[in-house]
Amino acid sequence: MLGAAIIVFREVLEAALIVGIVLAASAGAPRRGFWVSIGLAGGVVGAVLVALFAAEIAAAAAGIGQELLNAVILLLAVSMLGWHNVWMSRHGRELAATAREVGDAVISGARPLYVLAVVVGLAVLREGSETVLFLYGIAAGGGLGAGSLIAGGTVGLAGGVAVGAALYFGLLRIPTRRLFTVTSWMVLLLAAGMASQAAGYLVQADLLPPLGDAVWDTSAVLTEDSILGKALHTLIGYVSRPEGIQILLYLATLGAIWLLTRLVGRPVRPKTVASLSRGAATPLLVIFLFGALGAGSVGFADELKVRYPIVDYREFEIEHNGVTTFDSPKSGKSNNQFYTVEWGFGPFPNYFVELEHELEAPPGENITYDATSVENYFQLTPTGKYWGDLAFFAEYSQPAHRADAKAFTFGPLAQTQFGEIAGFGLLHTLNLLFTREVGNNSTNATPLFTAWQSRLLINQYIQPGFEYYGMIDDLGAPGKLADQQHRIGPVLVGLQNFAPYGKLKYELGYQFGLTPATERGAIRWRLEYEIPF
Amino acid sequence: MHRSALLPLALILAMASGAAAQEPTYTLTIKDHQFQPSEIEIPAGQKIALIVKNNDSTPEEFESTELRREKVVAGGEQITVYIGPLKPGKYEFFGDFNPKTARGHIVAK
C-alpha cells in the first residue's frame, strides 16, 4: 500500500504544484473556479484516454508518438504560460490596483483565464495518465487487493494535493501588490523548465541532438529522485545532469518570454509623437514610418517575397526583387515602388548570408537608396529529414538616412510538402517575421510580417501557386482588420538550369489587396542567379 | 555581424545536422516486473537505440534519472528509446511502476 501511495504521490505532486501556481497567479479573478474546474475535469478525462490508448500512442509516428505527445503538451503549456505573462505585464498593475478598490470585473472580462484552464488540464493529463496506468497495472497484476490499492491511491493523492495547497496558501500570504510579480516569475521558471523537459523528450525520440549528454552533474547534491529534487524539477526545471539542448531551450524560453513581455507587454508609446492624441497619432505615425522619412524595412510596399528555409550550400547568388503597387491616383497608394539587389553565399551547409540594398520610390517620387541589410539564414533541420524544414531568419537593416531607425527583423521560416493535386505535389512555405527598431526615431511597435506560399510542383520550369502576405504594424496593438495589410494572389515560380554555370530562378506574382489599408493591386517579381562554387 | 561571432553558432548547427546516422540497437526485456538482462554494455561516445520489450500483461515505465529518459511500455508492447552519446560510466534505470523489482543499469565503456 505504501509503495502505491508513494508512486501516486510523486505523480500527483507535479500536477499539484503547477495547479497551485496557476491558482495563485489568478488570485482574485472572477470565474476562476469555473475555468480551473474545466481544466481539472478535462485533464482527468484526457488522462484516462491517454492511458487507454497508451499502446497506440507509443506506436504512432514510427514509435515516437509518446515523446511527440509529451513534447507537444509541454510546449503548448509553455506558450500558454508565456502568453499569460505577456498579458499580466500589460495589465497586472491596473489589475492589482483595482482589485482592492472596485473589484476587477471590467479588466478581468478580457483576462485570458482559459489559458490557465489549458495549463491545468495539460498538467493533470500528463501526470494523471501515468497514475492511471500504474494503478491499472497493479489492479490487473493482482499484486494488491482493491482495498489497499484504493487506500494507497487516496493517501498519495491527498499528499500531493496537500503540498499543492500549501504552496497556494503560502503564495496568498504575499500582499496583492507583489503577488503578481512573484507569480509571474514562478510562471516564467515553470515555462522554461517545461521547455527543457520537452527538449529532453525530443532528444529521446532522436528528433533533436543532445548537444552534450551531461553538461554538468549535481546529482551528488540533489537528484530528481528525491521529493525535493522532483519538486524543484517541476517548479524551476531542475535537472541534475542536463543535456546541452535542455540548457539551450531553458535559456531561450526565459529570453523569449522576457523579450515578449518587454516588447508586446507594454502599451505603445511612439517617442516622436507622444504628445499627440491617440486618434491623430495613428495616421501620423503611419506617415512617419512609411512616408518619405520611412524606416527602410518596415511595412508599406515593403519587399513582398517568401523566404525559403533551405540553405544553398556552396552557392553564390545574385538576386533582384521588385514590387509596384496599383491603386486609384488619389489614394496616395498608387505606383509605390520597392526594389532590392542582393548578393549572397552559403559558406556552411546550414548557414546562408545575404547583403541587400533596398531602393524605394514612394508615390510620385524618384527612386532613392533607402537601406542596406544583412540577412542571415540558419537552417535548423537537415533538408528533408523531418516532415518539414525549418530555418531561423535574422536581418539587420541600416537605413540610408541618419534620421531613420535601424531595424532588426527575425523569425522562423518553415516549409513542408503536403498533399497533391492531379498527381503533382504541393509545397507550402510560411514566414513569420517580427521587426524591432532601434536608434534614432525608433518606435516601440513590433510589426509582424506574414508570408505564405503554396505551389504545385509540376516541373522545374513552371510551378503555379498562390501567396498571402500580411502586415500588422504593431503586434501589441493590432488594431482593426481594416487597418492591417492583407493581400493574396497567384504566383508562378520556376527555374532554368545552365549547369555547370548555375541556374536562373524566377517568380512572378500579382497580389490583390484585401483591406482598405492595402493597395488594390501589386505586381511582384524576383530574379535570382545561383552559381555553385 | 562579425563572422567570428557566427562560427560557434554555425558549429552547433553543423552538429545538429550530423545526427542522422544509423545507430547500434540493444534489446531489453521485461518479464515478471524484471529487466533482462539487468546489465547492458554499450560503447561510450556513441548514440544507441534501446528497444524495451514488455512481456508482462501490465504496463511499465522505463525510466532513468541519470539518463533523463522515461517512456511508458504498454503490456505486451515494445518501445524504442535513444540514448547517448554517453561518457564512460554506469547509468541506473528502473521500472517506475515496479521500482523494487525492475532495476538494471547500462555500462558505457
Q: What is the pLDDT of residues B44-82, one digit of tens each?
A: 988 899 999 999 988 999 999 888 899 999 888 999 999
3-state secondary structure of B40: strand
Q: Please check whether residue A269 lies inside any domain of the structure.
A: no
Q: Where are the domains of chain B?
A: 22-108
Q: Which three cell numbers stand for residue A327?
A: 491603386
Among A141, A242, A382, beta carbon nearest to B20: A382
Query: Model confidence at A391, in pLDDT bands (50, 70, 90)?
Result: very high
How far from A334 is each of A50, A72, A85, A289, A320, CA to CA, in Å? 56, 45, 42, 18, 22
Q: Which residues of B touch A130 (CB under 8 A)?
A: 61, 72, 96
CATH number, position A353: 2.40.160.40
- Predicted complex ipTM: 0.73
Query: Model confidence at A10, in pLDDT bands (50, 70, 90)?
Result: confident
Of A359, A361, A360, A391, the closest CA to residue A375 belongs to A391
Contact between A518 and A300 (Cβ < 8 Å): no
For residues A450 and A307, membership in a common domain is answered with: yes
Whether residue A157 is predicted with pLDDT greater than 60 in this model: the reply is yes
- d(C-alpha A525, C-alpha B76), whole Å: 58
For residues A219 and A306, membership in a common domain is answered with: no
Whether residue B99 is predicted with pLDDT greater than 50 in this model: the reply is yes
Stretch A323-329: mean pLDDT = 84
Cβ within 8 Å of residue A368, ≥6 positions away = A359, A360, A361, A400
Q: Which CATH number fits domain B22-108: 2.60.300.12, 2.60.40.420, 3.40.50.300, 1.10.260.40?
A: 2.60.40.420
User: Average pLDDT over chain A, rounded to whole?
Assistant: 82
Q: Are strands B39-42 and B103-108 parallel, antiparallel or unpaired?
A: parallel
Q: Please check whether residue A56 lies inside any domain of the structure.
A: yes
- State the total domains in chain A: 2
pLDDT at A265: 58
CA closest to A224 among chain B residues: B65
Query: Model confidence at A103, in pLDDT bands (50, 70, 90)?
Result: very low
Give pLDDT tens digits for A175-220.
877 888 898 899 999 999 999 999 999 999 888 888 888 888 898 8
Among B13, B49, B97, beta carbon nearest to A378: B13
Measured in degrees and rounded to the nearest 5, phi and psi for residue A444 equal -90, 0
Q: How far is A376 from chain B (nearest CA, A)?
A: 9
Contact between A113 and A95 (Cβ < 8 Å): no
CA closest to B48 among chain A residues: A206
- d(C-alpha A1, C-alpha A10), whole Å: 14
Q: Which residues of B touch A216 (CB under 8 A)?
A: none
Query: Which residue range is the domain that position A256 belongs to?
Result: 2-263
Burial pattern A297-329, b for ≥16 Cβ within 10 A else e, equals bbbbbbbbbbbbbbbbbebebebebbbbbbbee
- Look at B82 and A205 and tell me if their CB atoms are within 8 Å: yes
Whether residue A468 is predicted with pLDDT greater than 60 in this model: the reply is yes
pLDDT at A476: 82
Q: Which three cell numbers stand for residue A524?
A: 511582384
- Look at B12 and A223 and tell me if their CB atoms are within 8 Å: no
Q: Which three cell numbers stand for residue A164?
A: 499543492
First to last CA, chain A: 70
For residues A179 and A314, membership in a common domain is answered with: no
pLDDT-wise least confident of A448-452, A455-459, A478-482: A478-482
For residues A162 and A310, membership in a common domain is answered with: no
Q: Please check whether residue A176 lies inside any domain of the structure.
A: yes
CA closest to B17 among chain A residues: A382
Stretch A143-170: mean pLDDT = 88
- d(C-alpha A490, C-alpha A308), whole Å: 18
For residues A249 and A102, membership in a common domain is answered with: yes
Structure letter (DSSP) for residue A450 = E
pLDDT at B2: 45
- d(C-alpha A26, C-alpha A38), whole Å: 15
Whether residue A388 is predicted with pLDDT greater than 80 in this model: the reply is yes
Stretch A415-421: mean pLDDT = 87
pTM: 0.56
- Look at B9 and A205 and tell me if their CB atoms are within 8 Å: no
Whether residue A334 is predicted with pLDDT greater than 60 in this model: the reply is yes
Listed in sequence order, the DSSP H helices in B21-87 are: none
How many inter-chain contacts (A to B, CB under 8 Å) are there? 124
